[in-house]
Amino acid sequence: MPSIFAYQSAEVDWCEGNFERSEYIAEYYNTISNVAFFILAPVLMWLNSSYRDFRPNPVHTLFVVQLCIGAFSLYYHMTLSYAGQLLDELSILWGVSICYAFWFPVRYFPGFIKNSCKNPRIHRVAACLVIWWLISISCWLADKHLFINVTIFYCATLVMYFDVLYEMPNSQPLLTYWPSETSFFALPYVVVQKSQKWF
């Protein structure tokens, strides 16, 4: 019986040819595409700095989980080891579980469906999220991590927006885009503004 850490001991082998580009990397493009996790995780944390000031635990934890997903997926696709497969799949489940633990609505589920949102910027982010999910799901068999990572970015931004809107009544969320709203590839983020009291 081979070791669970041995090359190609995993139960799943994706459609990319093994060891075609390197003698050390089993699935070259699937391995390299994980670099996106190491780039977008810090960008998400940096762009949402005002939200991070209000709720540091969810943002820092999501940052660490994204880095773990990237590292474990990189290890899995590099070796196709059984241990790598388990770490890759479990880190994704950990990420989903942690997000539910931090952002599950306190009073109701889900509040943004019951209360209609008239903000066109939120509708744009939601539409982009759906498009990225469709791209991610359609590319899942090709296992392209860039699409999955961008989808996580859009999803986290929407969740942060509604978290501020419904759970921080003294604050007002503002949805902004980096580098600009008109850019072809614009990343959304939330700026938390304290609401002004009218006397």
Q: For residue range 20-78, list pLDDT tens digits in order.
A: 999 999 999 889 989 999 999 999 999 999 999 888 888 899 899 999 999 999 999 99
Total structural domains in the chain?
1
64 domain-assigned? yes
22 domain-assigned? no
| pLDDT confidence of residue 197 | 41
| pLDDT confidence of residue 1 | 57
| pLDDT confidence of residue 114 | 47
95 domain-assigned? yes
Enumerate residue ranges in the chain where pLDDT < 50.
Answer: 108-109, 113-114, 141, 196-199
Instruction: Look up the domain containing 109 and give its range.
Output: 28-194
90 domain-assigned? yes
SS (H, E, C) 57-104: HHHHHHHHHHHHHHHHHHHHHHHCCHHHHHHHHHHHHHHHHHHHHHHC
- Are the beta carbons of 176 and 188 closer than 8 angstroms? yes
What is the spatial distance between Cα 55 and Cα 140, in angstroms, rounded to a whole number?
32
| pLDDT confidence of residue 186 | 87
| pLDDT confidence of residue 138 | 65
| pLDDT confidence of residue 195 | 56
What is the spatial distance between Cα 43 and Cα 177, in angstroms, rounded to a whole number?
12
